[in-house]
Amino acid sequence: MKNQLKKLASNKIIKTGASLKLTVVCLVILATLVVWGTVYQAEHGLYQAQQKFFHSWFFLIFGFIPFPGTVLIMFVLFLNLVCAIIFRIPFRFFNMGNIITHMGIIVLLVGGFFTFYFSEESSLMLRERETSQMSESRHLWELAVWEKKSGERDIYAVDTKGVDAGDSILIEDLNLELQIKEYYKNCSAFRDITDTSIVENKMINASGIQVLKALPNAAEVTDNTAGVVFSVFNINPATDPHKTLLLYGEDVLPTPVTINSQTLFFSLRKKKIVLPLSITLKDFKVTFYPNSTIPKSYESRVSIKAEGGIKRDVVISMNKPLRFKDLTFFQSSYFISPDGSEYTILAVVKNFGRLLPYFSSILIFLGLVIHFLVKLFKSKKRSR
């Protein structure tokens, strides 16, 4: 086994992958990306900077020169550390501190991978004495359909991520087929009609909106408002003629449509996320700096209920989040309506790898302590 490792270690590719020079190059490029992305954010917004510099494998400078993104550099750094532990650092007792420190950094990179690919961010807005079990995405949209009933209603929601003109969506439980004619990630809506062709093909909308016009993507992704135009078909039996609907993200009214003597409601809304607990806002408090309207601190006293008989009161403040399983609730903001009603806004983050940075920090600390103790022991041994 040792001989095989030695042969591999002598390979030029392995040598390069495990070299300290590659580590230094990766760190220099990372520092460049951080500074560059920070400057870029001031003009183009946080979301655009994240997508270009920190959430990409590479991007183009001047439209044709490729430059590595943070994802690619972190992946190369991960391979560099793994190769260093296997091929460059001898597995001996005196190197244990160094090996443990490298392992801690690898765990930190793995935690970043889980956060990047699997974390979900949403928000929850509650009025005092209001209860909810659903949060709302900050930038993802969904097409919701439901039938009018006296009691509870079943809502069928279709994620519009990746939806484009020409796509078909089947909702078999309702015997519906939706054929997408137009989909806009960001658009504006108009009720005034001057085009006679639009008048002849009048679209159904509860608020009277008849025209959607595409807009460039906003600097902040949360400022985009989606819009969609689609035809509805009854697939079984296909007796009713198709109807064309127009839905706009900022339209507060759902659009009703009667299909085969069945009244259905359609709405384009921010994606809803079902939480494993219900949360009730019992009281919200905000403290201002003297003689100003600048908030000094604010907090929410909430009551949570979950399966298994879990029930307790919790205070969520600016520096004290609520953690429940893989969810973390942060005190994000607040809103006071003209009638004096107080609302809290909680940021909800679902992160499967949230504990990995803690394990990483412990490993790095332990590795550094062992490394310096070994160095101290060696220096004392030499002096004797």
Q: Mark which of 257, 273, 289 sits at the end of a domain.
A: 273
Same domain? 337 vs 285: yes
Q: Which domain covers residue 374, as residue numbers? A: 2-118+361-383
Q: Are residues 338 and 237 in the same domain?
A: no
166 and 111 part of one domain: no
Question: Number of folded domains in the chain?
Answer: 3
| 252/279 same-domain check | no
Q: Are residues 33 and 128 in the same domain?
A: no
Question: What pLDDT does 282 receive?
Answer: 93
Question: Can you read off the two tokens belonging to residue 374?
Answer: 């070994």
| Contact by Cβ (8 Å): 184, 226 | yes
In angstroms, rounded to a whole number, what is the distance separating the alpha carbons of residues 108 and 262?
Answer: 54
DSSP per-residue letters across 316-330? EETTB-EEETTEEEE
User: How many angstroms separate the CA atoms of 237 and 336, rounded?
Assistant: 50
Mean pLDDT by 10 residues, the chain (384 residues): 55 78 90 89 76 86 86 90 84 84 89 81 90 90 85 83 89 87 92 54 83 86 90 73 88 87 89 91 89 84 88 88 89 87 90 83 91 82 73
Residue 355 resides in a domain: no
The pLDDT of residue 279 is 92
Continuous segment of H or E residues that includes residue 6: helix 2-9
Please name every residue paired with 171 in a beta bridge, in sequence order, or none if there are none. Answer: 176
The answer as to whether 43 is a domain residue is: yes
> Domain boundary residue among 219, 248, 273?
273
Kindly state whether residue 356 falls inside one of the protein's structural domains.
Answer: no
Residues 31, 97 share a domain: yes
pTM for the predicted model, two decimal places: 0.70
